[in-house]
Structure 1
Amino acid sequence: MNKKAPIILPIILLFLAVASCMDYDPFEKKAFNASGNGLFITNEGNFQYGNASLSYYDTNTKEVEEDVFFSANGRKLGDVAQSMTIHKGKGYVVVNNSGVVYVIDIQTFEVLGGIKGLSSPRYVHFVNDTKAYITDLYAPVITVFNPQTLEKTGTIDTQGHKSTEQMVQYGKYVFVNCWSYDNSILVIDTETDKVVDRIAVGVQPTSLVLDKYGKLWTITDGGYEGSPYGYEAPALYKIDAATRTIENKFTFTKGENASEVTLNGERDTLYYICNDIWRMDVTATRTPVRPFLKRPEKNSIFYGLTIDPYTSEVYVADAIDYQQRGAIFRYTSQAVPVDTFKVGIIPGAFCFKYNRP
């Protein structure tokens, strides 16, 4: 299964799920003061079960705090935690099926505000201190808001593309991949907040990054057998951001689980999931022949991936069976195991917190 799609469990418990998305009885809150360096993990939870959570991992002490949003605020995070971004000392936690972006204090984890009334938010990108974008899985628009006031200030018409995902910026242009039943990367002019171009790639590009040389990288999952949009071999694409042309395409085997392109802190080394974890120099002309990390167990499902921008350590999320608590594996840049710890259900995305520029 792919982290981009909601994880659906038996309908017989749906009424409990709906109830779990509602308000909760007050309880004694826990006071946090996470002043050091750390890593947030957004745990999606099961679609319509309202059991999403936010975990916090101290990268120095290796201590894990479970469900910190609930502990700090006395209420559940909501339904399907998709992503988190830190900007100007505040954390923006996107809760997809609840249609909300919470803004939290990254030391106390307390809610400072939020943007509500969204269709199905996915990711947040900050253009500057007064303008930010929120992509959406189902609405054919990208929401524009002011980070200082948290007020919605407009929308960007995505010209019929309903599944906008991750965003990267090159000059004044923001590039965004369109994932579900799509094959596009849209180009947005941040001065006019309009889509000005489109780059066609393979079926369902899952993520997007920009390397140090101005090259965009995306990986497609190829869809699934029986999909009305098509089913093909997944592929890794290298695109020149200045000319918006595809420079290289690396094709994998049809049916392989490809997702999650990411970069190291120097942005010169690319990592991605294709069943296992793979690593390659961004100037390479072919993909590696051996994986950087192999799945530790046959039933492991590598679902999320991030690289520490300062230490180049690798963190991998294992969704296991999409029902029990997931696991996080931490490795050195040489693939030596450092730590393993449990988090919430379906860990999918990461966000580093550093007390440095």
Structure 2
Amino acid sequence: MKKIDLLLGWLFSAAFFFTLTSCESDDQPVVVEVPEQTEGVFVLNRGPQGSNSSALTYFDSESKTVVSDVFASLNGRKLGDSAEQLLVYGGKMYATVYGSYQIEVMDKKGKSLKTITSKNTDNSFHQPRCMASGNGKVYVTFFDGYVGIVDTTSLEVTKIAPVGLNPEQLTLANNKIYVAVSEGLNYPNTGTKVAVLDATTLAEVTKIDVLKNPTEILSDSQGDVYVISLGDYGYTVNNTLQRIDKQTQKSTVLMEATTMTMRNDTLYAIYSLWGKPVTDYIKYDCKNESVVTTNFLKDAIIYPEKASPACLDVDPVTGNIYIGVTDYKTNSDIYIFSPEGKQLNKFEAGSDPRVVAFISNK
């Protein structure tokens, strides 16, 4: 009898414990991992120089709707003159507007948070041109010959250093900053150097020889750096893509190209020199150092008269490819292709699209 009582007592205790733990378990919050999705894209339109008509166009990825001139609608003023680059970093967007001598900092809807300006010792304004991000900072080239650091908390230019006339794009690699120093305003005696700077102090580490007039620059996960030099626009030297080896810090010619972008160590490039009858759409495997294809589009773009590709970007989440086409006078078309090169959509943006920036849910 005692054994039965003990057994029943044990079963009751076990049942009570199981019920209690089940209830406790039910009370615990269930964490559901939401996959990253691209909610929309912003297109930065430069507009005709001197017209104060730079603008932001927004394309909603789900509804496929387009909102024109978002910045002006939200802020009651124009973005400025000759905007060049748009960067999404750390919950904010940064736009360089070099014709208006300012960096516009916005939230990810386009609402202005602060307008940053920086002055020379003679009280003239620096001209923000291109940007790269990392280490909690935004690095900026100033077209009048400098590189600066923007602190993303104070939203101030905390350091600035000379780098050479008309620096264009820059990239972070190997704990250094690589800057394409174009000297483009000295044409035809343009620059032939990529400047390498310390990422903290902005002190010059070295200079690397490249072809004339370097403008675009980016890097892969291995620390190799890729540079497009404009040459003399095809008169004697075509637009050329070069690779700077991480180990040797020497550049070698890869192919002809006019613009490029990168996703997951795959480099996408377009070669569309003025007057060239065929446009090349090149995909290059940076890890294997080999060309995958010279035509990554399955559906061809039919360019209107006097129009050409103005920007190329790849969605980091979906891998969809965005190509902006412009005649530099009228509104532009932005083509969207799948990673396999099939056209998915097309929408109208403002004049002269410079950058497509992607807004995700994370």
TM-score of the aligned structures, taking structure 1 as reference length: 0.79
Report deviation, 1:289.
Answer: 6.6
1:144–1:156 contact (8 Å) kept in structure 2: no
Question: 2:175 maps to what in 1?
Answer: 172
Match of 1:106 among 105, 108, 123: 108
Question: 2:285 maps to what in 1?
Answer: 281
Amino acid at match of 2:198: D
Q: CA–CA distance in 2 between the matches of 1:36 and 1:121? A: 28
Question: 2:187 maps to what in 1?
Answer: none
Which runs of structure 1 show a deviation greater than 6 angstroms over 4 or more consecutive aligned residues? Answer: none
Report deviation, 1:274.
Answer: 0.4
The change in CA–CA distance for 1:116 and 1:192 in structure 2 (over 3 A counts) is closer
Tell me the matched-pair count. 304
Match of 2:242 among 237, 245, 249: 237
Q: CA–CA distance in 1 between the matches of 2:112 and 2:334? A: 25
Amino acid at match of 2:47: G
> Is 1:149 the counterpart of 2:158 in the alignment?
no
Q: Secondary structure at the match of 1:97?
A: helix
Q: State how 1:5-16 maps to structure 2 within 5 Å.
A: none
Match of 1:327 among 312, 333, 338: 333
1:79–1:96 contact (8 Å) kept in structure 2: yes
For the aligned residue pairs, the C-alpha RMSD in angstroms reads 2.1
1:176–1:185 contact (8 Å) kept in structure 2: yes
Report deviation, 1:298.
Answer: 5.1
Q: Secondary structure at the match of 2:191?
A: coil
- Deviates most, 310-319 or 143-152: 143-152
The change in CA–CA distance for 1:242 and 1:338 in structure 2 (over 3 A counts) is same
Unaligned 5+ segments in structure 2 are 1-36, 119-124, 185-189, 273-278
Amino acid at match of 1:65: V
Question: 2:34 maps to what in 1?
Answer: none
Report deviation, 1:172.
Answer: 2.1
Question: 1:203 maps to what in 2?
Answer: 212
2:96–2:103 contact (8 Å) kept in structure 1: yes
Question: 1:17 maps to what in 2?
Answer: none
Question: 2:86 maps to what in 1?
Answer: 84
Question: 2:316 maps to what in 1?
Answer: 309
Provide, for residues 210-247 of structure 1, a one-character-per-residue CA deviation record: whole Å limited to 9, x for no partner: 11322111122222377xxxx4122211112343122x
Q: Identity across aligned pairs (percent)?
A: 27
Question: 2:128 maps to what in 1?
Answer: 121
Amino acid at match of 2:211: G
Provide, for residues 125-148 of structure 1, a one-character-per-residue CA deviation record: whole Å limited to 9, x for no partner: 33433x4321022x2211233221
Q: CA–CA distance in 2 between the matches of 1:124 and 1:289? A: 29
Q: State how 1:261-272 maps to structure 2 within 5 Å.
A: 261-264=260-263, 266-267=264-265, 269-272=266-269
Report deviation, 1:190.
Answer: 1.7
Q: CA–CA distance in 1 between the matches of 2:342 and 2:65? A: 19
Question: 1:259 maps to what in 2?
Answer: 258
Q: CA–CA distance in 1 between the matches of 2:322 and 2:40? A: 12
Q: Secondary structure at the match of 1:334?
A: coil
Q: State how 1:36-75 maps to structure 2 within 5 Å.
A: 37-75=39-77
Unaligned 5+ segments in structure 1 are 1-34, 253-257
Report deviation, 1:290.
Answer: 3.8
Provide, for residues 276-300 of structure 1, a one-character-per-residue CA deviation record: whole Å limited to 9, x for no partner: 3221222455656742234422533
Q: CA–CA distance in 1 between the matches of 2:234 and 2:249? A: 30
2:283–2:294 contact (8 Å) kept in structure 1: no
- Deviates most, 55-64 or 76-85: 55-64
Q: State how 1:335-350 maps to structure 2 within 5 Å.
A: 335-350=341-356
Q: CA–CA distance in 1 between the matches of 2:157 and 2:321? A: 36
Question: 1:97 maps to what in 2?
Answer: 99
1:261–1:271 contact (8 Å) kept in structure 2: yes
